Structure 1
Amino acid sequence: MLTRRYFLCAAAASMMTCRAARSQPATRLRLLVAGPAGGAVDVAARMAGEQLRGAGYLAIVENHAGAAGQIGVEALLRSPADGGAVLITPPGVFTIAPHVNAGLGYRMSDVAGLTTLCGYQFGVAVGASAPARTMADFLGWAKAHPGEASYGTPGAGTEPHFIGTEIERLSGVPLIHVPYRGGAQALNDISGGHLPAVISALPNLVTPYKAGKARVLMMTGTRRSAFMPDVPTVAECGFPDLASDLFYGAYTQTAVPAPVRQALAQALAKACQAPAYREGLARMSLDPLALSSQELDASMRAMDAKWAAVVKRTGFSLEK
């Protein structure tokens, strides 16, 4: 009798606890996306936001596109340092932008990494009708056609821009950089034969690649992509120093109290482990990648040192 009464009381207490938990208002969390609505980083942020409901957060996605992600950073730094805002962005906005724009109003030390939402790579691609079938072919053609050997990127001062300058430096083959406002038009131009090559993120390349409108010659990751297993890495193509595993990271201000940052990091990491979230990543050709806050900060420091040296070698500045 005592045992039965104990279990009845325990069950009643559990139900009351569940009702109390359900009655707790969700904590509002602004997810500031450094990119336009509909882009890969935006979709990843929205999928993560959906999964954050289980941790008691009501995620509101805000798009702050423009200035290569810098507008998103500024929106974060204008927010109260209470953990109510998290920035979702590729790393270049911290690891490259301060080196190409000395007048930038922020530095990497202004933010603290929480975790990563996913990983991605860049690829070098040519049109389907291009004569090059390998990276060596393309560089051989470029050497023989110096006035025509151009490559398009999403803009000056971006990671693809400097990947191109490093390929040029390491191969000794002159290349002409053609900055676009975003990558869509550049992809259209290689498909139409108006541009020899493009350097773009893998999610942008998968559709034209599968449709036979683009040929991807090289990927920038440390290992071959599961979405393009037949495409060699930069190391396999003779450029091991270019190998890099990139990601969409989640950041908040360094002034946010450590316990709040830790709670956010744990909630985001758990959200990104959800099967529905991982299935969504696969549909977008993005890789699961869950770095801890310490691993993320270490990776950012390494990238910062790498790109600082690259930018210095080129002498490039957006202020010129």
Structure 2
Amino acid sequence: LGADIVAKARGDAHIVMMSSAASHGIGPVLYKDVPYDPLADFLHIHLVGTFPTVLAVNGSSPITSVAQLIDQARAKPGEITYGSGGNGTMNHLTGQLLARATGVPLTHIPYRGSAPAMNDLMGGQISALMESLPTAIGYFSSGRMRPLAVSEDQRSPSLPDTPTFREAGFPGVVTTNWFGFSTPAGIPPEIAKRWETEIGAALQSTQVKEAFAKIGVRPGTLGAEGYTSLIRSELERWREVIKAGNIRAD
């Protein structure tokens, strides 16, 4: 709804939104009736931050690696489940990439949001969970959940002892959750440039870097051109994954 409102406000430089992988990378290729064009209807100003999806198990689980989880899934077809906050989310799609990379079906349990999914993982109702790092980070530090791997191509500074999927032996499982500032298309170029410059400077501040580090977010470094290219490539990538996996929204 928010993205649609911004898309329809062409030329209005007083409106800005926080675009994301959900609104501009996955949603437009997952849903058939999205009322906006994620590229043509917006001017994408600056990437603000990125963070990984984390594959996690219950803190008391005997599973300590991705390989162990996959071995169990291979030995017990249909019994190993992983939850996410819903069908078509970045966390769900990361699980689909893992299943594709291993050739081992993983039973996905979609929830209506992260909270019930995490509750069921900690309660032992599901085997594993794909969750965004900012949402789960507190449960890792408390020991109630154990991270097995992160989905970005580099380890997270917030989880330095947790390998990437690539390091764990699954190089095809690389995903990044992202968000940034976007405006309606058609705003004056000098205003767009000012937005880009000011946001870029703010993201380099110590205050922002420290705040982001606490929740496992990396400050974005892509300006307008780079952020637009990222969105274009993400749309292409997820269109193929969603089609291949016959993935549908809740």
TM-score, normalising length from structure 2? 0.93
Tell me whether 1:169 sits opposite 2:100 in the alignment. yes
Q: CA offsets, 1:234-253, max 9 Å, x none?
A: 21122223223432211112
Tell me whether 1:87 sits opposite 2:27 in the alignment. no
Partners of 1:115 and 1:293 within 8 A in 2: yes
Helix, strand or coil: the match of 2:172? helix
Helix, strand or coil: the match of 2:211? helix
Tell me whether 1:302 sits opposite 2:238 in the alignment. no
Unaligned runs of 5+ in 1: 1-70
Q: Percent identity?
A: 28
Q: CA offsets, 1:216-274, max 9 Å, x none?
A: 11101111111111111121122223223432211112222222211111122122222
Tell me whether 1:293 sits opposite 2:198 in the alignment. no
**Segment drifting more, 278-287 vs 237-246:** 237-246
Cα distance change, pair 284–263 in 1 and its aligned pair in 2 (3 A): same
Matches for 1:3-82 after TM superposition, within 5 Å: 71-79=1-9, 81-82=11-12
> Which one has the largest radius of gyration?
1
Cα distance change, pair 239–112 in 1 and its aligned pair in 2 (3 A): farther
- Structure 2 counterpart of 1:242: 173
Partners of 1:90 and 1:249 within 8 A in 2: yes
Helix, strand or coil: the match of 1:195? coil
1:80 CA displacement = 5.5
Supply the distance in 1 between the matched residues of 2:175 and 2:81 (Cα, whole angstroms).
23
Corresponding letter in the other structure for 1:262: K
Tell me whether 1:121 sits opposite 2:46 in the alignment. no
Tell me whether 1:260 sits opposite 2:198 in the alignment. no
- Structure 2 counterpart of 1:313: 244
Helix, strand or coil: the match of 1:222? coil
Partners of 2:87 and 2:247 within 8 A in 1: no
- Structure 1 counterpart of 2:127: 196
What stretches of structure 1 move > 4 A for 4+ residues in a row?
Answer: none
Tell me whether 1:103 sits opposite 2:38 in the alignment. no
Partners of 2:90 and 2:177 within 8 A in 1: no
Unaligned runs of 5+ in 2: none
Supply the distance in 2 between the matched residues of 1:305 and 1:234 (Cα, whole angstroms).
22
Tell me whether 1:140 sits opposite 2:71 in the alignment. yes
Helix, strand or coil: the match of 1:96? helix
Partners of 1:129 and 1:193 within 8 A in 2: no
Supply the distance in 2 between the matched residues of 1:107 and 1:246 (Cα, whole angstroms).
20
1:98 CA displacement = 1.6
Instruction: Select the structure with the greater relative contact order (CA < 8 A; seq sep ≥ 6).
Output: 2
Q: Give the number of equivalent residue pairs.
A: 249
Corresponding letter in the other structure for 1:189: D
TM-score, normalising length from structure 1? 0.74
Supply the distance in 1 between the matched residues of 2:115 and 2:248 (Cα, whole angstroms).
24
Greater helix share, 1 or 2?
Answer: 1
